[in-house]
Amino acid sequence: MRTVDLSQTSLRELNATLHRLRADTNETHWRVLNPRGQHAIAVGVDAPITIEIDGHVGYYCAGMNKAATIVLNGNAGQGVAENMMSGRVHVKGDASQAAGATGCGGLLVVDGNASARCGISMKGIDIVVKGSVGHLSAFMGQAGNLVVLGDAGEALGDSIYEARLFVRGTVASLGADCIEKPLEDHHKADLARLLEAAGLNGTADPGSFRRYGSARKLYHFHIDNVGSY
């Protein structure tokens, strides 16, 4: 295992070192110390390695991640795992706003709460939040799954496209064009798979969630609205 202490090594040097790793690297386990809230730690990693970061991080940590498993032993600032392509990001503490924003793939797990705009414009990422999410989560979500074991804040799924939202607790309000939908058996099977991937196998009953998604009235052209254009 390689250890990088950010009180000794510059952030730019760490990220450049990680970017040089090839898919077949033997240096598969990394540990980062003293992040001290710095921004953009371990962004753009493109190798199947594991990176553990000990402490709280600033903005955009693990952004654009591809293939790597990144574990944050602390809280994350805004935009953690932003635009993730694949791999896995696990926040052991809380995540700030816009966690998993625009993510195209992979799995983001937040053990604590995620604040406002979690999964904004998600495009295929799966997000499992063990606590609650703030307002405007999954805003304009296009694809992927947002699973919330706690509560969701105001305007959940506002202007949503085809992302699927599963919430076990209360929803303060639904956003424009977001509605509750029936939880079918195949949804429960998908949920069980996501919960298992998040390490929650057997601890959360897929049947205890409610499903929300698009009413599909906002993003399809409707002839009655022709006068508005």
Partner 1 sequence: MCGIVGLFLKDNALEPELGALLAGMLGTMSDRGPDSAGFAVYGAAAPDAIKLTVRGPGGCDFAAVVRRLEAAGVAVTHVARDTHVVLTVPLRHEATARAEIAAAPELTIVGGGRRMEIFKEVGRPDRVALRFGLDTMAGTHGIGHTRMATESAVTTDGAHPFTTGTDQCLVHNGSLSNHNALRRELIREGLSFQTENDTEVAAGYMTWRMREGDSLEQTLNSSLTALDGFYTFVVGTESGFGVLRDPIACKPAVLAETDRWVAFGTEYRALVDLPGIDGANVWEPVPAKAYLWERH
Question: What is the binding site for partner 1 (CB under 8 A)?
Answer: 36-38, 55-56, 58-59, 75, 77-78, 93-94, 96-97, 115-116, 134-135
Are residues 83 and 125 in contact, defined by beta-carbon separation less than 8 angstroms?
Answer: no
Q: How far is the CB of 56 from partner 1 (least distance, A)?
A: 5
3-state secondary structure of 11: helix
**Alpha helices (H) along the chain:** 11-20, 185-197
Q: Which residues contact 57 (CB under 8 A, 6 or more apart)?
A: 35, 37, 38, 41, 72, 74, 75, 76, 77, 80
Give the nearer residue to partner 1 in terms of CB position, either 55 or 213. 55
CB closer to partner 1, 69 vs 97: 97
Nearer to partner 1, 37 or 199 (CB): 37
Smallest distance, partner 1 to C-beta of residue 165, A:
20
Cβ proximity to partner 1: between 83 and 115 the closer is 115
Q: Can you point out the beta strands (E) in 120-225?
A: 123-129, 143-148, 164-167, 178-181, 210-214
- In the complex, least distance from residue 145 CB atom to partner 1, rounded to whole angstroms: 24
Q: CB of residue 158 vs partner 1: minimum separation in angstroms?
A: 12
Return the structure tokens found at 19.
Answer: 């970017």
